[in-house]
């Protein structure tokens, strides 16, 4: 009995100890998953040429990957509880790595698309399960430090993807976009075996099949519909698909609210700090996600810049993301979540409004500086939302909260591009800000600024000391 008690105490101590190396490992796997979501963009012409298909057809490989990741997240939460998080996380890395090899050796578009679906299945498990592993082993006082590690992949991957993909495609071939995942995946798998603590799964845990079906179909329909709306030829079909997705998710919520063993514990929404993720947090991520879409288009289509110049200028956003990162945790410690969220969203709205008044004649250092500030505010808000959402969540609710959060992040990213594209078409068609083509971007950025202010209003309704256990935790 004494031996068992000692083992339990040791396990508890291990689980409650902050492990930076584990957080860094999970962040690295996230980076691979995020990077592969967009890295193929620059390789589309090369892949189309090799497979002798129209370039537009290759887009199916990116859509299939993103849809699979989004649809797989709900199931991954149950798998982690049933089989154990360590086992599922290692399996996810293995699936992602093997699927990358299959992508690299694909001989036609069909094989590449199927391989990308398998890769997305691995990515769907890596995202929420990896986060769950870190969060379960992190005390509330160290939650800010843990989420600081987990946020950077989402900030860095979007700017590196075009550059890495372009360089590999230009100097080697598009196959190397996937080949580089092999040594990275192998190293991550070995590290996971050593760093991720063993946890026993609940072999008797039942799966809410109907809740899973409704949730998966709803998420898949929303992602596909948003991808279509954000494309060049949206129509009534896209609107119907989005509507079907919303209805399916509404049905899932209704079902899980009365199910004995629901897929997700919806009581997490009763926690105000977590609910901020699906209200102001969702709007914040949506508007922020539109920037990497709108800026390059405005610089090339509106200002007449070449892609390289536009890409370098947009990189200022991500320089600001990374540059401010060391200061985000001290800022939250000093001022608290509410003040930081209000500031980050309001400041972001101001930068959006200022972007609306940029022209081809605006001095480039001024544009770079504005985008640098925009990136810094973006990073502060991302870090604050990533931490505050778990501040008041109890351990029993953590799997559900984590899976729901991961799903909302995926949906917000797709919605940002779709909403940005819709605003562009709206102002281009109505000429509300003028007949010139570039004025459509002015309208889109102003609309995004107004939308961001909705997030600010939501943050203002938070309690003054929201998430204080986390923000006022360890101040080392």
What is the DSSP track for 384-436?
HHHHHTTTT--GGGHHHHHHHHHHHHHHHHHHHHHHHHHHHHHHHHH-TT-SS
* First-last CA distance in the chain: 38
Query: Which of the given ranges, 110-119, 216-225, 345-354, has the highest pLDDT on average?
Result: 345-354
Q: Is the pTM of this model over 0.75?
A: yes
Distance CA 262, CA 36 (A): 32
What sign does the CA torsion over 353, 315, 124, 326 have? negative
* pLDDT tens, residue by residue, 99-147: 999 988 888 888 888 998 898 888 888 878 878 777 776 777 677 777 7
Residue 81 phi, psi (nearest 5): -75, -35
Average pLDDT over the chain, rounded to an integer: 80
What is the DSSP track for 80-146?
HHHH-HHHHHHHHHHHHHHHHHHHHT--SHHHHHHHHHHHHHHHHHHHHHHHHHHHHTS-GGGHHHH
Which pLDDT score is estimated for 6? 41
Distance CA 287, CA 34 (A): 18
Assign 203 a pLDDT band (cuts: 50, 70, 90).
low
Q: Which residue has the higher pLDDT, 415 or 450?
A: 450
DSSP 8-state symbol, 207: -
Position 331 pLDDT exceeds 50: yes
User: Taking residues 244-259, what's their average pLDDT?
Assistant: 86
Distance CA 40, CA 289 (A): 18
What sign does the CA torsion over 360, 364, 368, 369 have? negative
Which pLDDT score is estimated for 367? 92
Share of the chain above pLDDT 90, in %: 11
Name, in order, each residue with C-beta under 8 angstroms of 191's C-beta and a sequence gap of 6 or more. 25
Name, in order, each residue with C-beta under 8 angstroms of 350's C-beta and a sequence gap of 6 or more. 449
Distance CA 142, CA 415 (A): 32
User: Taking residues 237-252, what's their average pLDDT?
Assistant: 85
- How distant, in Å, are the alpha carbons of 297, 428, 429, 432 from that of 436? 15, 8, 11, 10
Q: Which helix (H) or strand (E) holds 338?
A: helix 337-355
Could you tell me how far CA 396 lies from the centroid of its own chain? Answer: 24
* pLDDT tens, residue by residue, 263-304: 778 888 888 888 888 888 889 988 988 887 788 878 877 888
Position 160 pLDDT exceeds 80: no
Q: Is 168 exposed, middle or buried (0-12, 13-18, 19+ CB in 10 A)?
A: buried
Position 450 pLDDT exceeds 90: yes
Q: Is 431 left (phi over 0), alpha (psi -120 to 50) or beta?
A: left
User: Taking residues 69-92, what's their average pLDDT?
Assistant: 82
Are residues 18 and 145 in contact, defined by beta-carbon separation less than 8 angstroms?
Answer: yes
DSSP 8-state symbol, 361: T
Distance CA 289, CA 279 (A): 16
Give me the residue label for tokens 């990533």: 386
Give me the residue label for tokens 């909403």: 419
- Which of 116-130, 257-271, 429-443, 455-469 is predicted least confidently? 429-443
């Amino acid at each position: 009995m004494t031996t068992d008690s000692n083992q339990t105490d040791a396990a508890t101590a291990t689980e409650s100890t902050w492990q930076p190396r584990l957080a860094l490992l999970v962040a690295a796997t996230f980076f691979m998953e995020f990077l592969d979501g967009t890295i193929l963009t620059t390789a589309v012409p090369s892949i189309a040429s090799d497979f002798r298909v129209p370039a537009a057809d290759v887009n199916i490989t990116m859509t299939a990957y993103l849809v699979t990741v989004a649809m797989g997240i709900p199931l991954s939460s149950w798998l982690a509880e049933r089989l154990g998080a360590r086992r599922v996380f290692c399996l996810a890395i293995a699936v992602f790595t093997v699927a990358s090899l299959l992508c690299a050796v694909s001989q036609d578009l069909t094989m590449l698309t199927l391989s990308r679906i398998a890769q997305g299945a691995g990515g769907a498990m890596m995202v929420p399960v990896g986060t769950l592993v870190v969060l379960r082993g992190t005390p509330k006082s160290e939650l800010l430090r843990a989420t600081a590690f987990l946020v950077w992949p989402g900030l860095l991957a979007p700017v590196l993807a075009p550059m890495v993909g372009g360089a590999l495609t230009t100097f080697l071939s598009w196959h190397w976009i996937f080949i580089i995942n092999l040594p990275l995946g192998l190293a991550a798998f070995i590290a996971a075996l050593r760093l991720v603590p063993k946890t026993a799964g609940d072999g008797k845990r039942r799966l809410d099949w109907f809740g899973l079906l409704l949730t998966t179909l709803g998420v898949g329909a929303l992602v596909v519909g948003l991808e279509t709306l954000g494309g060049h030829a949206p129509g009534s079909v896209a609107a119907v698909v989005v509507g079907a997705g919303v209805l399916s998710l509404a049905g899932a919520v209704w079902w899980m609210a009365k199910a004995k063993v629901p897929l997700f514990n919806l009581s997490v929404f009763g926690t105000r700090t977590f609910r901020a993720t699906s209200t102001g947090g969702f709007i914040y991520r949506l508007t922020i996600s539109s920037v990497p879409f709108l800026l390059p288009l405005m610089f090339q289509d509106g200002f007449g810049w070449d892609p390289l110049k536009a890409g370098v200028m947009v990189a200022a956003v991500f320089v600001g993301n990374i540059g401010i990162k060391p200061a985000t945790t001290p800022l939250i410690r000093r001022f608290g979540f509410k003040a930081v969220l209000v500031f980050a969203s309001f400041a972001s709205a101001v930068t959006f409004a200022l972007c609306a008044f940029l022209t081809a004649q605006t001095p480039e250092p001024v544009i770079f500086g504005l985008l640098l500030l925009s990136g810094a505010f973006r990073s502060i808000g991302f870090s604050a939302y990533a931490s505050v959402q778990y501040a008041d969540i109890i351990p029993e609710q953590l799997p559900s909260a984590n899976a729901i959060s991961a799903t909302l992040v995926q949906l917000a990213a797709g919605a940002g591009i779709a909403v940005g594209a819709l605003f562009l078409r709206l102002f281009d068609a109505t000429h509300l800000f003028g007949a010139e083509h570039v004025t459509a971007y002015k309208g889109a950025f102003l609309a995004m600024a107004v939308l961001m202010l909705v997030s600010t209003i939501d943050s203002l309704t938070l309690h003054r000391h929201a998430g204080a256990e986390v923000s006022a935790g360890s101040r080392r």
